[in-house]
Amino acid sequence: MQERPVSANNLLQSSIDNEESRRASADDLGLSGNMDRNRMDPLAKIESLQIKFMRLVHRLGQSHDNILVAKVLYRLHLATLIRVGEKTSLRNDRARAMAAELEAAGRPDLNFSLRILVLGKTGVGKSATINSIFDQMKAATDAFQPATNHIREVIGTSKGIKLTFIDTPGLLPSSTRNVRRNRKILRSVKNFIRNTPPDIVLYFERLDHINMGYSDFPLLKLITDTFGSAIWLNTILVMTHSSGALPEGPNGYPVSYEPFVAQCTNLVQHYIHQAVSDLKIENPVLMVENHPQCKKNISGEKVLPNGQAWRSQFLLLCICMKVLGDANTLLKFRDGFQIGPSASNRLPSLPHLLSTLLRPRSTERENDELDDQDTDDEDEYDQLPPIRILTKAQFEKLTKSQKNAYLDELDYRETLYLKKQLRADIQKRRNNLLPKDGNSANDEDYDNHEGNPEAVQLPDIAVPPSFDSDWPVHRYRCVVTSDQWLARPVLDPQGWDHDVGFDGINLENVVEMKKNLHLSVLGQLSKDKQDFSVQTECNALFTDLKGSSASASLDVQTAGKDLVCTARGDTKLRNLKHNTTGCGVSVTSFGNKYFVGAKIEDTISVGRRVELDLNVGRMGGLGQVAYGGSFEATVRGRDYPVRNEKIGLTMTVLSFDKEMVFGGNILSDFRIGHSSKISLNANLNSRRMGQICVKTSSSDHVEIGLIAVISICRAIFRRRAIEDRTVD
């Protein structure tokens, strides 16, 4: 049999862990001394249960050193230490002596019974296993059609223990057409056991039917939804046909018995974890063989290929789980134990929320970067003499110095042209903010007579190769219409599905409500085989001629089954020519929990290219508070913003729960030559955690791409060397 922790062990252990904190607080208040009288009664019941358990172990012919017996005794001892205290806790040697004395006196009456619910698909051997346990025909079986058509109780005795099996009709395999019938059977079983719930649940599977294509998640999920997640706490996985022929391995020989059993049971356990959404549950596994030609030992019990008598093991498992369940009920641990994901315990990270608040918001109507630049060279581009554009063949005939001079001249002219366009755009924005007069009205009328722009079809997105028979790129075009809506697919470059990496849709729109008031809406929907996520952001921005601005935004996104809403407001005031002061507040709701944050920031411009930014903030909620701040110094390139060249240094500090973390970040974007760009981002914090990211792009030097190839090969060889050392 595959050794696994008993599920009731998991229940009792988790309850014990929850109880330790309660006990510590009670001791601090001095309440433990007033409850001795109330504790003695549960202790006496647990001691009686422990003696009964040892008598049953003796009758089954099992040793007290058996791993299951030792686990049960340890859990009982640990539980009584927490509930009762060390002075009056149970002692195994005392209980063992009393059990031996009672057995020697010949007192057979133990008043111990088991009520067992049987579940599983049709044809897996539920009724045959019941007959094997009683060693007589108690339930009808049929090899060609379902033999159990209704719920019934099968009562008998084995080893002096009264057993009551609740035999149920077999469930049909997982499919859409069988869901209705399976749900009807499970609901009738639930009504049958409503007044007298079972002590143990047996879930049956055929060992010889489990392979890599096995997937019974829909059926396991239906059982969980019908009975609740707690049904798996006292469930034993029963694998029938355990003495059949083993499958062949890659070498053509049959695989070993123990690894094959472990692989099959782990696969079933994996789908139970998915159905319950909890990895803590580990169900015990029982291997069963009901064939008449199965090998038997000298006692007449059927023996598995590993030499184990499965009927004695079945009784021992059931006894262990029943004893732990009774102890859990007597000590009242069950109330503090929950199964599956608990949304009430999920809390967002306050440092993460604070970092998001402190991060500057990018808006389309921020201060113009060319406000302070001289306008002497405004018409310099128009005054330039014409230049002759060379063909590729003509360019190749030039010398190296002539090529560099030609490219420098083109780059200079392009920079001047971009500056001219940017100044024209800035001037147009300012004119829109000015009050209407005769000239502006005429200009507006002229613009209106130009006609509405038509829809523009954007270029196709580069998608990864697909194994589909038809190439579905035409379904994923981006379209910009006259109402400024931008619709485009969400590309997942790591996707492996046949939808060539597209798993969502993105919608964007910017609306000009007034001359100085703009509204932007952004939404994204993503869907894969398991998760569905929605993220929306609405932002309203107000600007004036002095450079001041105010914005309000609402962000809504899903986090599992919860909804996270964040309302935020930011204000920036330009009180001096080179100084801007701002503040912001945010309120985040996560379920029924709320977190409130505030920040203050100040930006100072030194000359045209240097900018200093300082901000501090606070985020609090549920009695916890996080503080933080950052200082950022940015040096921009000579041609910024038309050439996005800059270097920035950021120092951050976060304080939360009496712990302070310092961090630093360096960001640099610069060009190498005329056709290559490099972006460098490096960060490190006081916890010795950091990251270095280098991005390069080039349209001329293909050999730069070899850097990535060399890095990948080096990482592969390093991993292989580590694995070789681990094997040695």
At residue 309, what are phi and psi to the nearest 5 degrees? -85, 110
| pLDDT given at position 666 | 93
SS3 string, 484-545, reads CCEEEEEECCCCCCCCCCEEEEEEEEEEEEECCEEEEEEEEEEECCCCEEEEEEEEEEEECC
203-212, 628-637, 719-728: segment of lowest average pLDDT: 719-728
| pLDDT given at position 615 | 92
113-122, 153-162, 582-591: segment of lowest average pLDDT: 153-162
| pLDDT given at position 358 | 86
| Cα separation, 18 vs 165, whole angstroms | 34
Backbone Cα Rg of the chain: 37
Q: What mean pLDDT do residues 364-377 have?
A: 46
Identify whether the C-beta of residue 200 lies closer than 8 Å to the C-beta of residue 234.
yes
Which domains can be identified in the chain, with CATH numbers?
A: 40-111+301-333 (no CATH), 113-294 (3.40.50.300), 352-357+477-630 (2.40.160), 637-727 (no CATH)
In the block, residue with structure tokens 């990535």: 708
Q: What is the pLDDT of residues 67-97, one digit of tens each?
A: 888 888 888 877 777 766 554 455 667 777 7
Q: What is the pLDDT of residues 666-717, one digit of tens each?
A: 999 888 777 778 888 999 988 888 888 888 777 666 666 666 677 777 777 7
Q: What is the pLDDT of residues 298-330, one digit of tens each?
A: 877 888 888 888 888 888 889 888 888 888 777
Residue 503, pLDDT > 80, answer: no
In the block, residue with structure tokens 């009562």: 155
* Cβ count within 10 A of residue 468: 10
More confident residue, 347 or 524: 524
Q: What is the pLDDT of residues 9-48, one digit of tens each?
A: 554 555 444 444 444 433 433 334 444 444 446 677 777 8
Residue 449, pLDDT > 50, answer: no
Q: Which amino acid is at 699?
A: S
| pLDDT given at position 32 | 41
